[in-house]
Amino acid sequence: MCEDMVQSEDGAAHCAVRCSALADDTWVLGVTFGAEHPARKQRPCTRFHFVLDNSGSMGRNSQNAKDCFADLVSVANGPCSLVAFESNAVLLGENFQTADAMRKMQLPRQGGTNITAGIEAAVAVIRRCAMQEAAKESGSQATHHVLVLLSDGAHTVGERPELRLPKLGAELLAELSGLRLSVVVVGVTRNSNTSLGMLLKQSLETVSLPALEPIYFADTPQLMGETLKEMHIGLASLGGCLVNVSASNGSLLVRAVGDHGTSSIDLLADSQEQAVLCLGKLPPADLLIDGVACPCAEMAFDAELAASALQRLVSDARVKRIALGAERVRPALQQLGTWVNFLESREAEQRAIACKTKLQLGKATPAMRLAQHKSLKSALQGARELRNQLAEIDACAANDSASQAAFLTGSSSKYGAKALRRAAAHGPLGEAVDPKQRLQELLHDVARLAPAMRQALREDFCTKLAMLSEGARNQLRSMLESNAPPIVSRHLIATLCSGDVTADKLDADKDLAGLVDSGLAIESLCRVTGNKRQSYLSLQTVWEQLKEWCDFAMAGDCKTEYQLLMCLGTIGYPIDVQRRAATQMNPYAMDITRVRPSLVDTASLSTALYSEQEVVPPEGGLAVQDVLVLVDPDAPRASRLAASSLLLREAYTSVALCRDLHMYTGNAMRLALHAHSLFAAVQAPPSEASKEDLAAQLRRQYLGRAFQCRQCGFGPIDHFACGDLEAHHGEHVGGAVINNACPHCGWFSDCISDWPQWDGSLPPAATNDAETHKQASDANRITAASLDVALRICYSARAIWKSGPESEAHMLCDKLASWETITSADGVDHPVQLLLALAVSDDIPEGVLGQVPVLALLNEVCARKARDELRRTVGTEEPAIMAAARKRVAAFLGVTKETAPQTQSLEESEPQRAAVREICLADFTLDTTSFDFKSWVKDALDPWVPAVQFVKRLRAVLSSREGGWRTLKRDMESGPEAYADVVHELQKPASSKDTLRSWLGVTRACEAERVLATVAAQAFMHQSSQLRRTVAAGGSLAEPLGDVRDGATLRAISVDIRMAIYDERVAAKMQEWGRLGASLTFQRARAADLEQYSSLCAAAPHVHGLDKQTFWGLWRAATEEKAKAFLQTANQGFVSKYGQQTNLI
């Protein structure tokens, strides 16, 4: 505590108290201590009392923990004590004032675990210190005692702590009513007792420290050091003094949930506003802060402040739940639930206002976006989060130390548990990411990029300016002279538009640099080049969006990573992402179903989404959720800088792919987004809205106002303007008849209350019509806007993925050109990766887009689809997958068990497998009734037709244009007109050689069914890397897969299926032979004469070459001469053992 703190009006002058009503007789107080408040300017007088487990199980960790405790001595500004306990407790000192003094102290011999004795010894020190202070009557502030308990096991010796601690706490508080005592618990290993630690807090603690964790838990002794470091950081961060707070006019302050309230509480005066719950008929007129009256200003309801006050009590309820059990905490939860209900009601009032107030994102600055988000979020989320926590406390079933610790610290919650599974990219051991530390990393990166971003924007401007023709520069000059403020001189504009301005000149000319940095010149430049692309949310160009990165001071106001994403971003294309469970492990394990050409910016979208406001695209349909971040040719250097930042490269990419901030695993995630987006961008546009878009649009328009049929559920039905449906039912108006009945089944009621509110379900007819229109649109040509998007995706991919002769992209193209396998085991994560490589490589090998490589790509697409379907159907076990694949293929090939080879009788051996395969039937009868293989192949490959066509036409254009990608890159940076010829060529219809029929080698219509069946059959029978590669390449094939165009390939697959059936029969026969073989052999051998018996033994070069059943069956039947015949070919060991037993040697 602070010694000799001056109690004067200065305290009141530097302390602000606000008050708002939560409910009748319940108030929320917010107490803020200014930087000049006496309690903020002086350090607290603090003493640490360490209680260290010195039992045998601790071993060397007792010494390590003592050394860590020693480091904390310097944090306190009063003497510290150390108690070591084993079977007994030993006070090793109570006047440690330096770390070295505690380190030099030797620990006694280790023994049992008497936690009660250790705590009692420390409390005795605390009691003695407090009584000495009271006896002095010096008027100084009471010392703040912090008791720190560390143990790795359960109590084994002495009085049970569960019985002693409540009594000890009652005695201490009765004797020392003004005692200021905080408790910190450290648990080591799962053998420690978390509930006991919480009971210690409940029994003894009078001053809670919200900045610290309820428990610091190390799952293993090896992690104890890191855990103690975290505790050290928490204790060292405590600033300010403890102050005593009491309310006027008889109001009571709520210290702990379940209590009736107390006249005063102790708070730690720090820089954060302290939220306190107050009970009273009227709000307190003022608060007494260490005896100094501070006026209490009644304010409008603040949901965030109320949630903060309740959150402190909810955290206390967590501790009480573990310390006292479910039944003892239930009344407290009921009280909290009542207060949360009040908060929810007040939030509902604010939400009604918030829903009417939409985000204003047009031309909003980062500070404006953040302020709007905070305003909306405070009205939406506080009560919901608190209610979820209360439900979690009520449902808590943790009964072991580790689970209880996780529950207390929040890592057992949805987001906390997920944090423990995050990728190892942020730590060598895959440890959980610390959000605060990660935020500092991002802020440091933004600060590093700020000056570089300004320079990059200048360089991009100068490059674009140099590309302008003289006429365009004159146009720019005229535009600037018309739009520039009078303070900008004509001479300065003329200098800028002269054509020889460089970034170095801007650095040397402050006025010229100011004109460029202001954005005025850039906006005019965009208008001149006809390239004023902007986000429809922020109404800002990429230049304006990136300019926000130059002001780091604004980013410093962000308290979370999400808030930083709202402040800084870039422009990109909205994408519809379909994620899977495997996406976190393999970024290519997802699909992008659409890339929208209407630009949005990530910062505005993040603000809207995290404020729970829907972002509707200009064309309607599904709401926008994700953005593809690109390196933009409009600002190549600056956008590349932003895209490479930790914020966008890692955090935003991780959110887009995995819906988590900390799952970034490398550049493959960005490439996966580019590759899938390119595939989606080159698809033909639908002529009508998809069923998903239609559903979203109807729900957006009618949900909450429309009705549905009570009888059949048809909806939405838009009854409006009149609640009496009978009044106008059947009325003729303008040549039409009003029909208020259900249009589907005819049900009718004249009372509007009989019609249920529409639940958002759409009738099947509506979605079927949408799907029909979607399928009918497949022949539509790709638009110029979509092609421009595709080219920009390729441009961006080249900026983040090397494209030269030694690059990964070129290596993938080489694999395809040399007819190698392109499975996942060959380094091809997904076929779209090949598509991107073919599009962006500087040069591609000759023949890589020929019929054979393209066919190999299409076959691989089908194989991966088949495997995905099988795994979703039967699971991940390979035998089950293979069995399901054979069953499906056998069904549409008409292969039955009756047509498969039969085995010989049980007593006869099977012929060589090659001989059986030689005579196996190879015929098939195609049947689409059991499985429509034609539709399956069409669904799999139809989307790949425009994708392959795009790549082939793009490579043809690049070959015909001088300079290839290097020239196209420069032209894209110049503006749309410079590469309009490329878009025009890409829009031309495909030739007859670039069709699916041509790639599959179908020359006659009668061949199509067989080829499609072969593609499907081979895809299912060889759906894994192992089944598609040869033995030499690490697979299981004796020779490469057959050509799907060859009729013999399907016949061979038919044989494979029949041979699999034969193999199952042989396996069953061998199982039966294992059960009966010895007995059958015995019977035959016993009945045989000597010559016949000898021939049975000669079935192998020696009897040990026979199978187990035959060997022992022959031996059991061997008597006298037969035994001699058997032993003639047996090994010496067998002869020595069994020959003597039969007296034959």
Cα–Cα distance between 1010 and 7 in angstroms, integer? 96
Which residue, among 267, 220, 219, has the nearest Cα to 240 in the 3D structure?
Answer: 267
Q: Which helix (H) or strand (E) segment is 347 a member of?
A: helix 326-356
Which tokens in the block code for residue 129? 């210190």
Cα–Cα distance between 557 and 896 in angstroms, integer? 71
Burial (CB < 10 A; 0-12, 13-18, 19+), residue 1129, is middle
Return the beta strands (E) in 999-1040 as ranges.
none
The alpha-helical segments, DSSP class H, found in 818-928 are: 831-840, 851-874, 878-893, 913-919
Report the predicted TM-score, pTM, of the whole model to 2 decimal places: 0.70
Quick one: pLDDT at residue 765? Answer: 65
Cα–Cα distance between 15 and 29 in angstroms, integer? 13
Burial (CB < 10 A; 0-12, 13-18, 19+), residue 88, is middle
**Other beta carbons within 10 Å of 442:** 22
Which tokens in the block code for residue 733? 């108006």
The answer to whether 72 and 36 have CB atoms below 8 angstroms apart is: no
Distance of CA 53 to the CA centre of its chain: 40
State the distance between the two ends of the chain, measured CA to CA, in whole angstroms: 101
Residues in the chain: 1145
In order of 297, 455, 1092, the CA distances from 523 in angstroms are 48, 17, 104
Q: Between vectors from CA 365 to CA 361 and to CA 368, what angle results, nearest 5°?
A: 70
Output b/e per residue, 514-530; b: 16+ Cβ within 10 A: ebbbeebbbbbbbebbe
The alpha-helical segments, DSSP class H, found in 571-625 are: 602-610
The half-sphere exposure of 900 on its side-chain side, counting CA atoms within 13 A, is 19
Quick one: pLDDT at residue 229? Answer: 85
Cα–Cα distance between 1019 and 87 in angstroms, integer? 70
Region for residue 128 given its phi and psi (left: phi exceeds 0; alpha: psi -120 to 50; beta: otherwise): alpha
Helix, strand, coil % over all residues of the chain, rounded to 5: 55, 10, 35
Cα–Cα distance between 49 and 71 in angstroms, integer? 13
The half-sphere exposure of 592 on its side-chain side, counting CA atoms within 13 A, is 29
* SS3 per residue for 242-304: EEEEEECCCCEECCCCCCCCECEEEEECCCCCEEEEEECCCCCCEEEECCEEEEEEECCCCHH
Cα–Cα distance between 430 and 549 in angstroms, integer? 31
Region for residue 922 given its phi and psi (left: phi exceeds 0; alpha: psi -120 to 50; beta: otherwise): alpha
**Other beta carbons within 10 Å of 487:** 7
* Cis-peptide, bond into residue 716, ω within 30° of zero: yes
Q: Which residues pair with 1030 in a beta bridge?
A: 1037
* Amino acid, single-letter form, for residue 234: G
Cα–Cα distance between 1115 and 1086 in angstroms, integer? 10
* SS3 per residue for 619-671: CCCCCCCEEEECCCCCCHHHHHHHHCCHHHHHHHHHHHHHCCCCCCCCHHHHH
Cα–Cα distance between 1056 and 175 in angstroms, integer? 89
Helix axes 303-324, 382-395, angle to 10 degrees: 10
Cα–Cα distance between 28 and 279 in angstroms, integer? 9
Cα–Cα distance between 707 and 742 in angstroms, integer? 10
Which tokens in the block code for residue 981? 């010829």
The answer to whether 1069 and 1076 have CB atoms below 8 angstroms apart is: no
Token pair 């060598």 is found at 428
Q: Which residues pair with 333 in a beta bridge?
A: none
Cα–Cα distance between 585 and 590 in angstroms, integer? 11
Cα–Cα distance between 498 and 518 in angstroms, integer? 19
Cα–Cα distance between 248 and 333 in angstroms, integer? 28
Cα–Cα distance between 661 and 587 in angstroms, integer? 15
Quick one: pLDDT at residue 883? Answer: 95
- Tell me phi and psi for residue 776, to 5 degrees: -75, -10
Which tokens in the block code for residue 943? 């989307």
Say whether 4 sits in a helix, a strand or coil. coil
Say whether 48 sits in a helix, a strand or coil. strand
**Other beta carbons within 10 Å of 1143:** 7
In order of 28, 393, 924, 978, the CA distances from 919 in angstroms are 89, 70, 15, 66
Output b/e per residue, 1044-1071; b: 16+ Cβ within 10 A: bbeeebbbbbbbbbbbbbbeebbeebbe
Quick one: pLDDT at residue 8? Answer: 42
- Tell me phi and psi for residue 574, to 5 degrees: -65, 140
Q: Which residues contact 215 (CB under 8 A, 6 or more apart)?
A: 185, 186, 187, 194, 197, 198, 405, 408, 409
Which tokens in the block code for residue 164? 């002693």
Cα–Cα distance between 562 and 603 in angstroms, integer? 10
Which tokens in the block code for residue 8? 């004067």
Which 8-state DSSP code applies to residue 1035?
A: S
Cα–Cα distance between 646 and 561 in angstroms, integer? 11
Going from the first residue of the chain to its last (1145 residues), give the mean pLDDT of each consecutive group of 10, the final group possibly shorter.
Answer: 40 81 90 84 83 92 92 90 95 94 93 94 94 74 90 88 93 88 91 90 88 86 84 78 85 82 85 88 89 89 86 88 87 88 80 67 87 70 78 80 78 35 39 73 93 94 90 90 87 88 89 88 84 88 92 78 93 93 86 93 92 83 92 95 95 90 88 97 78 74 80 84 74 79 88 85 65 47 91 96 90 94 94 97 94 96 96 92 96 94 85 92 93 95 95 96 95 91 92 90 92 97 95 92 95 95 88 75 79 82 84 84 84 81 59
Mean predicted lDDT score pLDDT of the chain = 86
Which 8-state DSSP code applies to residue 1136?
A: I
Which residue, among 233, 412, 243, has the nearest Cα to 321 in the 3D structure?
Answer: 412
Distance of CA 719 to the CA centre of its chain: 43
Helix axes 1005-1021, 1047-1087, angle to 10 degrees: 50
DSSP string, 792-816: HHHHHHHHHS--STTSHHHHHHHHH
Say whether 305 sits in a helix, a strand or coil. helix
Return the beta strands (E) in 70-177 as ranges.
80-85, 89-96, 144-151
